[in-house]
Amino acid sequence: MIRPYCPADLEKLKEITGICFAEVSIDANIEAQFGPIGSRDWRWRKLRHIDQDVEGQRAQGVFVWEEKGQVLGYITTRIDVESRIGWIPNLAVRPQHQGRGLGRKLMEHALDDLHRQGMEAVKIETLAQNAIGSLFYPSMGFREVARQIHYLMRL
């Protein structure tokens, strides 16, 4: 059910991202407080991250959960060979399929892959308002190491 990303998945990953990150995205927070910026909405900015995740060699670190021809979730990873620290930029599962362990299995798959590639640690970021992530990541063994505050002002 977990397989490597292929280019035909891109629009499905973007669709899932637009749904799952509406309440837990810095860009959505910016738009909620400041309105649209640059005639683009928060989804446009967030979806560019997915384009970056699947660009070139990075696509090798993207895995999808597929059932009956439908992509239900995905995880993206990146590696830093020199630091030996991997990164998980995005993890999302369609809301109607959450609670089935798909995110956990995607995470386990990604962690195994990062370990096979020689990573000694992996980092992931979430917003304090992400109630699911704030519980899920520690349950997977992640420990909080820092908090960061994002500021914005219109010019």
Residue 106's domain is classified under what CATH number? 3.40.630.30
Find the distance separating the first CA and the last CA of the chain, reported in whole Å.
47
Query: Domain for residue 150, yes or no?
Result: no
Query: Domain for residue 151, yes or no?
Result: no
Q: Which of 46, 38, 35 is nearest to 13 (CA)?
A: 46
- Domains identified in the chain, total number: 1
Query: Domain for residue 71, yes or no?
Result: yes
130 phi and psi angles, rounded to 5 deg: -85, 90
Query: Domain for residue 20, yes or no?
Result: yes
What integer pLDDT is reported at residue 78 of this predicted model? 96
pLDDT tens, 14-61? 999 999 999 999 999 999 999 999 989 999 999 999 999 999 988 899
- pLDDT-derived band of residue 106, with 50, 70 and 90 as boundaries? very high
- pLDDT-derived band of residue 146, with 50, 70 and 90 as boundaries? very high
Query: Domain for residue 152, yes or no?
Result: no
CA distance linking residue 86 with residue 142, whole number of Å: 13
Residues 6+ apart with CB under 8 A from 153: none
- pLDDT-derived band of residue 70, with 50, 70 and 90 as boundaries? very high
Q: Determine the average pLDDT of the residues in 57-69.
A: 94
Query: Domain for residue 155, yes or no?
Result: no
How would you label 56-95 residue by residue, b for 16+ Cβ within 10 Å and e otherwise?
eebbebbbbbbeeeebbbbbbbbbeeeeeebbbbbbbbbe
Sign of CA dihedral 8, 48, 4, 70: negative
CA atoms within 13 A on the CB side of 125: 9
**The pTM is what?**
0.94
Which residue type is seen at 73? G
Query: Domain for residue 146, yes or no?
Result: no
What integer pLDDT is reported at residue 119 of this predicted model? 97
What integer pLDDT is reported at residue 125 of this predicted model? 95
What integer pLDDT is reported at residue 108 of this predicted model? 98
What integer pLDDT is reported at residue 48 of this predicted model? 95
Q: Determine the average pLDDT of the residues in 77-94.
A: 97
What is the domain range of residue 130? Answer: 2-139
Tokens 């995205």 sit on residue: 25
Query: Domain for residue 120, yes or no?
Result: yes
Is the distance from CB of 18 to CB of 46 less than 8 angstroms? yes
- pLDDT-derived band of residue 121, with 50, 70 and 90 as boundaries? very high
